Each structure stands twice: as C-alpha cells, then as structure tokens.
Amino acid sequence: MSDAVSENVYIKPVQVTYDIDWNMLNKKLYFPLSLLSTFTVRCLLYPFTLVRTRLQVQVQQSIYNGTWDALKTTVKLEGFNSLYRGFWIYSYHLIPGILYITTFEATRLQASNISSNTYIKSAVGG
C-alpha cells in the first residue's frame, strides 16, 4: 500500500534564500517600516539610556544605587516626562541610520558586479 502512494507523490525541493539583496526589497515598505520599528524601539529603551547616562556621570557620592533605583528616583522627583528629556534630539539619529543602510546596500550591490564573493562585497560596503 505504501509503494502505490509513494509512486504518485512528487515532492518539490524547497529553494532557500540565504541572502536578501537590496533589489529584492520593496523600498516603499522598507523605509517607513524601518523608521517606525527603530523609533518604537528607541521610545521603549530611551529611559534606560537616560538612566545609564546618569549613572555613568555620577562622581564620588552616588545619587542612585542602581538602574531601578535611578528610574524610581527620577520619576518620583522629576516626573515621568523627565525620562524622555532630550528624546527628540536623540531621535534625529534615525535619519543617518537609514542613510547608512542605504549607502551600505547600494555599495554592496555595486560590488557584486566586481565579485560574487560575499566577504568581499561586505568588506567593500563597510
């Protein structure tokens, strides 16, 4: 019974893509979604960046006893909005990030005309 079934079954081999090239991307979706995802991550993590900076600039006598203490103390003394002080200036880094990725991928695409070696393409791209 299994011999009859196996003769009629055709299994198509799966083609696996290991490298997604720049020309495979839909740029109209990539740029806005990339900006949105990066902005969202920065919104969530910025309070920890602020606390890290405050912990690093402490001199001699410690104001904070750690990350959670710094978060609680900042919110208690300065309010929740103080966790996002300086965020809008920090968020301007999104634009150079997109420009960097675009330049890297464009250079990598041009390098693929020179060599098909992925190590060379990545080295030339940056």
- Looking at residue 73, what is its pLDDT? 92
> Do 80 and 105 belong together in one domain?
no
Residue 3 lies inside a defined structural domain of this protein: no
- Looking at residue 17, what is its pLDDT? 66
Domain membership of residue 55 as a residue range: 39-85
> Do 74 and 102 belong together in one domain?
no
For 111, which DSSP code? H
Specify the DSSP element, H or E, that contains 120.
Answer: helix 118-125
Provide the number of structural domains found in the chain. 2
Contact criterion met (CB below 8 Å) for 53 and 90:
no
Hey, what long-range contacts does 66-72 have (CB within 8 A, 24 or more apart)? 71/47
Q: What is the pLDDT along the chain (126 residues), one digit of tens a residue?
A: 555 555 667 777 777 767 777 888 899 999 999 999 999 999 999 999 999 999 998 887 888 888 999 999 999 999 999 999 999 998 988 999 999 988 888 887 787 777 777 777 667 766
- Looking at residue 74, what is its pLDDT? 92
Residue 97 lies inside a defined structural domain of this protein: yes
The C-alpha atoms of residue 123 and residue 119 are separated, in whole angstroms, by 6
- What 3 state SS string does 7-70 have? HHCCCCCCCCCCCCCHHHCCHHHHHHHHHHHHHHHHHHHHHHHHHHHHHHCCCCCCCCCCHHHH
Contact criterion met (CB below 8 Å) for 67 and 55:
yes
Q: How many other C-beta atoms are found inside a 10 Å radius of the C-beta of residue 74?
A: 20
> Do 45 and 81 belong together in one domain?
yes
The C-alpha atoms of residue 123 and residue 126 are separated, in whole angstroms, by 5
Confidence (pTM): 0.67
- Looking at residue 71, what is its pLDDT? 93
